[in-house]
Amino acid sequence: MTLKLKEQLLKTLQDLREEEFDKFKWYLKEDDVLEGLSGIPVAQLENAKRQDAADLMVQKYQGPGATKVTTKILEMIGRNDLVLRFQNFSIDVPREEKIKRKNPKLKWIQQFAVDVTLDPDTAYPNLILSGDGKQVHHSDVRKELPENSKRFNRCVNVLGKQSFSSGRFYYEVQVKDKTAWDLGVAKESIERKGHIRLSPKVGYWVLWLRNGDEYVAIDQPSVKLSLKSYPQKVGVFVDYEEGLISFYDVDAADLLYSFTGCSFTEKIYPYFSPFINEGGRNSAPLIVCPVSQND
């Protein structure tokens, strides 16, 4: 655990800008950063690089202390985005969840909830996004939008703004009243121009609905799912290091499908498609919902 903690701590420090890292070191020498833990001597920190700082923190504070100090200082320098990622890594997995790693319980997974919003710079021109970036639906009217390398130009897709390159994360999407949709994650380097064939091989890990009742996991090969009920809200969970992507029927707290043994080597993004509106039959939006843990 100490080696993995040190690796994650170093990765977190490497994501700080130079001035942020200088502030981080400044707080490290303070005795009152965390009650009961003393600071690291100035002489040891003065010329310390990121690797040195990670080593010093693990040596002085051990695992739990290093985690608490890192979280507190990240909050103090305004890097709350890194706080969530670091905390997700640091939370111990209960023994029973390790045993069922490929099928962890939804209630445990919901603690890794993150705030996901849709990125308008990636959205296909016929997609309508809400002002808060939480809803998307398809329109018959194609908007005139500036072309950029991030935008899908032939497929009815949009990505989340938030990217992830470590740890665990989870989000939920309302799919109520829809006859077709795609949900999942995609790697940063995916093809976004022209017609796209979804597949893990090209960096898409996706579950979709077609024709109101045809649920398919786009794996290699694709898997048609026989579900007991039709999900109204779908949860998406990713464990980056474990190479696991799981989809849940939130209301039933049932696992729908898991991609396992995935190899992530770059940033991944939440992926959405409300699909075409099918003459109004599929006009309901996909809605990114706040997560409330099931009892």
**What SS3 string covers 113-140?**
ECCCCECHHHCCCCEEECCCCCEEEECC
- CATH class assigned to 2-92: mainly alpha
Helices (H) and strands (E) in the chain, counts: 7, 13
Selection from 111, 112, 37, 114 nearest residue 70 by Cα: 37
Query: For 98-289, which CATH superfamily applies?
Result: SPRY domain (2.60.120.920)
Q: Please check the confidence at residue 241 and state whether its pLDDT lies above 80.
A: yes
pLDDT in tens, 169-219: 999 999 999 999 999 999 999 999 999 999 999 999 999 999 999 999 999
What are residue 158's DSSP bridge partners? 272
pLDDT in tens, 89-142: 554 445 444 434 445 688 889 999 999 999 999 999 999 999 999 999 999 999
The full set of domain ranges for the chain reads 2-92, 98-289
Element (H, E) at 11: helix 2-14
Kindly report the backbone phi and psi dihedral angles of residue 44, in degrees, each rounded to the nearest multiple of 5, phi listed first. -80, -25
- Across the range 245-254, mean pLDDT stands at 93
Question: Are the C-beta atoms of 89 and 101 separated by less than 8 Å?
Answer: no
